[in-house]
Each structure stands twice: as structure tokens, then as C-alpha cells.
């Protein structure tokens, strides 16, 4: 029998087998058990976190011959055919390769017909954000009023590219990146079941390298089994991944703290003999600096690695708060620009030297972190030669914006919002401000996007932008002003109409029509925006 890779062999077949997405699983299981099922579900998240896996399990639950429940039997013919990828009523589509409107129309031709084998006809569209605008328009009507027997399961790594009209017609579930601890525990379970010898630290290295993706972790585990010859050892795994010994990472941060440029260069020379992954070295430096910053602020070691807590707490007590912030920023900028350096080693050396060059002179820090698990530090103060000033009072006052009734569309583009929160703000229009409350009007078609959490994100972002405490009140109904989404749609339509008129008047087009009897296909005209930087 041929070897089956671990990512396929250990792919969950039921909700109870799935790890790391409890918030999504609980909602789906409750819906299945109570019969409160929506016609369209959207699963979003980075690669390898379980979007299509959960969608397939949901398809099993909807078509299990034992009845709809949160625990499909996995024994009936419907369940087995879905597991094997040959169930006729589960139509899986990769939107990345089926982007044209004709593909979508062909897909939906048989929607009105009842399921051939199962209880429900399920359309699973992966990477749905890759569909063209025309394809979304073709899908929209069916998505809005599907037949009773049809369910749509959509998956995407980039929900921001989906039209608001599609988002508003789906129940959206955001799948989280897996934590290193969750991935490491799963790898341990699999190694035990497969009777593979391993060192726990080696699995921790694999979990970190997977960067939140369980599928990537299982692929790396397969690679480590082959590379290590059966027993997964820390040293061989580190060599395979190109990772740096943790002692080197902590040593480098200590050398930065003590301003020892010579020691840093010597340490990098030692590291270079291990054929390292320098990008990962800067990632590790930035990750540990972030943990130091968290410990300095709240007195808690935000770490998945048990053996690093002592190192993090010691660094937090000896490094100035300002240095930690500066070093972190330079580390991530050096990581971003590493490919521009003559070679990776020189790029890393220059990154460290830049940290020391721009390190503030004549400052020291006094920090009292309290005991482990305390809710915060007793004090964090920056001491200069003249006086001691709380860090919180050092924000430049000219950074705050003075309130005036805004161009809401322009303001939204400047706020620190992303994903669904930005989409909600873009579907609102500015009404007025009374006291500290900003009133917005929401397009009724986007009502499903309104949540307390997203309102809070918008209020926090406005407060931060204007430097004052603001709240928002969102009223349902049409407003006198256009929302940013409506404004964008109108401008796009105007551009298309202008382009159509321009082409109709073009002498070359007129000649083609006259000589060959050609017709201008106006529905294929698209506005191509240049890179705005």
C-alpha cells in the first residue's frame, strides 16, 4: 500500500477530531443540533487552519444518512463518499481556476434540481475571492434566494476582496491561526499514535516554523521524519529548518542591551557556520523583543515556550523600554529589507549595528515588574539627566487632529481599521456629531455586518485619530450623503460609461465597425487602476 502523507491521513473527519477552532465548531454544532441552519457560510483564515476541512465535515453532517446532527456517523455511504471525495451532491470548486462568469453560470445551471443522493446539495467554493466581478454578480441572485435543498460553503484567505453584497448574505466565521502550543500538542499526539520517537523541543521548533498552519506543521513533520531517520531530534530538526540555537538569540539581545558591537559580530560569525536562515533569526529577535515589551508593560510572559520565560523576565528588567521598542522596529524593517542586502549575513549585521547606532544616549530605565502573574508593573519611567517623566506623557501633542465635520470616505481610509470593521465603516455615511458621540447612518442592506465589537473598533480608531474619547451611534436607514462604498461604486460606473463613450468615438473602432461589421462588447470593458503606491 502506498504511503499516505500525514496531512491527509490525519485530516479530521468529525468536529470532535478538529483542534484549534473551538469558537467556530461550537457555533456550527449548535446550529446543527437545533436545526437553525443558514443557506450560506463563509470560512475565512490563513492557509492550513481548517477552512475546507470544517466545510467538508459540515457537508457530511448535512447529508449523513443517520440524520442531521453535530456528529455524522462516518459509516454510512454518504459520509464515506464525502471522505473519499466522490459524493455527487458535494460540488467542490477551486475558484482560482474557475474565475470566468461562464464557469459560474455552468456551475449554477443545476441548482434548481434536487440532490441526487443526499439530503442537501452542497456547493463548496474554495478561494472564492478569486472570482471575477461578473462571476460574483452571477452568483449573487442564487446566493440571495437559493432553493431549500442547496447550501453554499465558501472559503477564502482574503475576505477583504469579497463584495459587501456577498458578505452580507453569508454567516461569516473567522478561523484563527493555530498557536505553537496547539500545533505542538497535535504533533505530539500524532507521533505517539504513529510510534515515532521524538524530542519535545524538536516538535516545538516545527510548531513555530509552521507559522500558525496545522497543514504546514504536518508537512514539516513528514520532512523531519525523513531527514532525522525516524527519531526526531532537536539538533537535526534545527539544521533542517535553518533555525538558530535559542541561546544565540538570547545572547544577541543581551549584547544589544550592553551595547557590545564586537560581541554581536563575533556571535553572527559563529552562527554563520551553521548555515542559518537569517530571515528566521530576525523573526526570532523580533518575537522575543515583543515578549519583553509585553512583560515590561503588564508583567506577564506572553510566550509559548516554557523554557524562555526566565530569559524574557531577565531581559525585561535590564533593557530600557525605549530600546526594546526601537530594536523591535529596526528588526522587522531589517527583515523586510533583507533581500536587498548584498548577502543575508551582511544584512543582519547591518541591522544589529543600526540598532546600536540609533540607540538613545544618556537614558536608563527603572522597572518594577512585581511577581509572576501580576496585573501590571508598579512603574515604568524614563529617567533623563534632568528629571523623571512618565512615558505616557511623552506623546507629542501636535499629533492629535482637530475635529471638523469630515469627508467620511477620506477619513475611513486614514483610520486604523481592517477587514469587516473597515467594511462596516465604508458602508456608513457621516450624519453629525453631538458632544463626544459621532452619529453614522448605515445602509440597511449591510445590517448583518453591524456588531458591538466592530462598533467598538471604529470608535477606538476615531478616538486614537483625533486624540479624544469618542463613541459612535449607528442608525439604520438611508442618509443624505453617499457611503464610501456607494461613492466608489458610482465613480466606477461613471468611469465605465466614460470609457464606453470614448471607445465608441475612437476612429479605429469606427473603422472596424464600418469595414468588418464589428460590434463593441461594452460589458467586457474594465477599468484598470494603476499602482497608487
Range with the poorest average pLDDT among 53-62, 118-127, 362-371, 510-519: 362-371
What's the mean pLDDT in 196-215?
90
pLDDT at 318 over 90: no
pLDDT at 217 over 90: yes
Q: What is the pLDDT of residues 281-296, one digit of tens each?
A: 999 899 889 989 988 8
pTM for the model stands at: 0.59
pLDDT at 384 over 60: no
Q: Identify the residue whose cell numbers are 481599521.
A: 417
Q: What is the pLDDT of residues 489-530, one digit of tens each?
A: 777 777 777 777 787 788 877 777 777 777 777 666 666 654
Whole-number Å distance between alpha carbons of 339 and 344: 7
Residues facing 43 on adjacent strands: 155, 173
Q: Identify the residue whose cell numbers are 460553503.
A: 153
pLDDT at 385 over 90: no
| pLDDT attached to residue 528 | 60
Q: CATH second-level architecture of 6-174?
A: 3-Layer(aba) Sandwich (3.40)
Range with the poorest average pLDDT among 204-213, 265-274, 291-300, 332-341: 291-300
| pLDDT attached to residue 58 | 94
What's the mean pLDDT in 455-465?
89
pLDDT, mean over the chain: 82
pLDDT at 170 over 70: yes
Structural domain boundaries of the chain? 6-174, 180-241, 246-394, 408-481, 485-524
What cell does 529 get? 487602476
Better-scored residue on pLDDT, 481 or 157? 157
Whole-number Å distance between alpha carbons of 61 and 73: 8
Collapsing DSSP to helix, strand or coil, 368 comes out as strand
Residues facing 198 on adjacent strands: 232
pLDDT at 67 over 70: yes
Q: What percent of the chain has pLDDT over 70?
A: 87
| pLDDT attached to residue 521 | 72
Range with the poorest average pLDDT among 71-85, 110-124, 293-307, 469-483: 293-307
**308: closest CA among 285, 328, 281, 325?**
285
| pLDDT attached to residue 399 | 40
Cβ density class 323-353: b for 16+ within 10 Å, e for less:
bbebbbebbbebbeebeebeebbebbbbbbe
| pLDDT attached to residue 502 | 80
pLDDT at 361 over 80: no
| pLDDT attached to residue 479 | 57
The class (CATH top level) of 180-241 is mainly alpha
| pLDDT attached to residue 366 | 37
The total number of residues shown for the chain amounts to: 533
pLDDT at 180 over 70: yes
Q: How confident is the model at residue 480 (pLDDT cuts 50, 70, 90)?
A: low
| pLDDT attached to residue 396 | 37
| pLDDT attached to residue 175 | 93
Better-scored residue on pLDDT, 441 or 360? 441
What's the mean pLDDT in 209-223?
91
Cβ density class 432-470: b for 16+ within 10 Å, e for less:
eeeeeebebbbbeebeebeeeebbebbbbbbbebbeeeb
DSSP-derived secondary structure for 472-531: EEEEES--SSPPHHHHHHHHHHHHHHHHHHHHHH-HHHHHHHHHH-----GGG----PPP
Taking CA atoms, 517 is separated from 520, 522, 524, in Å, by: 10, 16, 18
Range with the poorest average pLDDT among 64-78, 248-262, 513-527: 513-527
Q: How confident is the model at residue 249 (pLDDT cuts 50, 70, 90)?
A: confident
DSSP-derived secondary structure for 242-289: TPPPHHHHHHHHHHHHTT-HHHHHHHHHHHHTT---HHHHHHHHHHHH
Q: How confident is the model at residue 371 (pLDDT cuts 50, 70, 90)?
A: very low
CATH 1.20.272.10 given to domain 246-394: yes
Parallel, antiparallel, or unpaired: how do β-strands 379-383 and 388-390 relate?
antiparallel
pLDDT at 197 over 60: yes
Q: CATH second-level architecture of 408-481?
A: 2-Layer Sandwich (3.30)
- Are 333 and 377 spatial neighbours (Cβ–Cβ below 8 Å)? no
| pLDDT attached to residue 526 | 65
Amino acid at each position: 500500500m502506498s504511503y499516505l502523507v500525514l496531512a491527509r491521513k490525519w485530516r479530521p473527519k468529525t468536529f470532535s477530531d478538529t483542534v484549534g477552532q473551538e469558537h467556530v465548531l461550537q457555533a456550527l454544532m449548535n446550529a446543527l443540533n437545533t436545526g437553525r441552519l443558514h443557506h450560506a457560510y463563509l470560512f475565512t483564515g490563513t492557509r492550513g487552519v481548517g477552512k475546507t476541512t470544517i466545510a467538508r465535515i459540515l457537508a457530511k453532517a448535512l447529508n449523513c444518512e443517520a440524520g442531521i446532527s453535530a456528529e455524522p456517523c462516518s459509516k454510512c455511504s454518504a459520509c464515506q463518499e464525502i471522505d473519499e471525495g466522490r459524493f455527487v451532491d458535494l460540488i467542490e470548486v477551486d475558484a482560482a481556476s474557475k474565475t470566468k462568469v461562464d464557469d459560474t453560470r455552468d456551475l449554477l445551471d443545476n441548482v434548481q434540481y434536487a440532490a441526487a443522493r443526499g439530503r442537501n446539495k452542497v456547493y463548496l467554493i474554495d478561494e472564492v475571492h478569486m472570482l471575477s466581478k461578473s462571476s460574483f454578480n452571477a452568483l449573487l441572485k442564487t446566493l440571495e434566494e437559493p432553493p431549500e435543498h442547496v447550501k453554499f460553503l465558501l472559503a477564502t484567505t482574503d475576505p477583504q476582496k469579497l463584495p459587501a453584497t456577498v458578505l452580507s448574505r453569508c454567516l461569516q466565521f473567522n478561523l484563527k491561526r493555530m498557536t505553537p502550543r496547539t500545533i505542538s500538542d497535535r504533533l505530539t499526539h500524532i507521533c505517539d499514535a504513529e510510534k515515532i520517537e521524538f524530542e519535545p523541543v524538536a516538535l516545538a521548533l516545527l510548531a513555530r516554523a509552521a507559522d500558525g498552519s496545522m497543514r504546514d506543521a504536518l508537512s514539516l513533520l513528514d520532512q523531519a521524519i525523513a531527514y532525522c531517520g525516524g527519531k526526531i531530534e532537536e539538533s537535526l530538526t534545527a539544521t533542517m529548518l535553518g533555525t538558530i540555537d535559542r541561546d544565540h538569540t538570547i545572547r544577541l539581545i543581551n549584547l544589544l542591551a550592553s551595547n557590545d558591537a564586537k560581541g554581536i559580530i563575533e556571535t553572527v560569525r559563529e552562527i554563520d557556520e551553521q548555515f542559518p536562515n537569517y530571515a528566521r533569526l530576525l523573526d526570532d529577535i523580533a518575537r522575543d523583543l515583543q515578549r519583553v515589551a509585553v512583560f515590561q508593560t503588564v508583567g506577564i510572559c506572553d510566550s509559548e515556550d516554557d523554557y524562555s520565560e526566565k530569559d524574557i523576565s531577565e531581559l525585561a528588567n535590564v533593557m530600557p523600554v525605549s530600546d526594546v521598542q526601537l530594536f523591535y522596529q529596526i528588526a522587522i524593517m531589517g527583515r523586510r529589507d533583507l533581500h536587498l542586502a548584498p548577502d543575508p549575513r551582511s544584512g543582519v549585521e547591518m541591522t544589529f549595528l543600526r540598532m546600536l547606532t540609533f540607540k538613545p544616549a544618556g537614558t536608563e530605565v527603572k522597572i518594577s515588574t512585581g511577581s509572576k502573574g501580576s496585573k501590571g508593573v508598579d512603574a515604568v519611567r524614563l529617567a533623563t539627566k534632568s528629571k523623571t517623566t512618565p512615558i505616557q506623557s511623552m506623546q507629542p501633542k501636535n499629533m492629535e487632529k482637530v475635529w471638523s465635520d469630515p469627508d467620511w470616505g477620506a477619513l475611513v481610509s486614514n483610520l486604523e481599521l481592517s477587514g469587516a470593521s473597515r467594511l462596516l465603516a465604508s458602508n456608513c455615511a457621516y450624519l453629525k456629531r453631538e458632544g463626544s458621540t459621532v452619529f453614522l447612518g448605515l445602509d440597511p442592506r449591510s445590517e448583518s455586518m453591524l456588531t458591538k465589537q466592530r462598533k467598538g473598533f471604529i470608535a477606538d480608531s476615531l478616538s486614537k485619530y483625533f486624540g479624544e474619547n469618542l463613541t459612535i451611534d449607528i442608525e439604520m436607514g438611508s442618509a443624505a450623503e453617499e457611503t464610501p462604498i456607494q461613492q466608489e461604486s458610482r465613480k466606477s460606473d461613471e468611469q465605465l460609461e466614460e470609457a464606453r463613450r470614448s471607445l465608441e468615438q475612437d476612429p479605429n473602432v469606427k473603422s472596424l465597425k464600418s469595414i468588418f461589421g464589428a460590434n463593441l462588447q461594452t460589458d467586457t470593458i474594465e477599468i484598470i487602476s494603476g499602482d497608487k503606491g
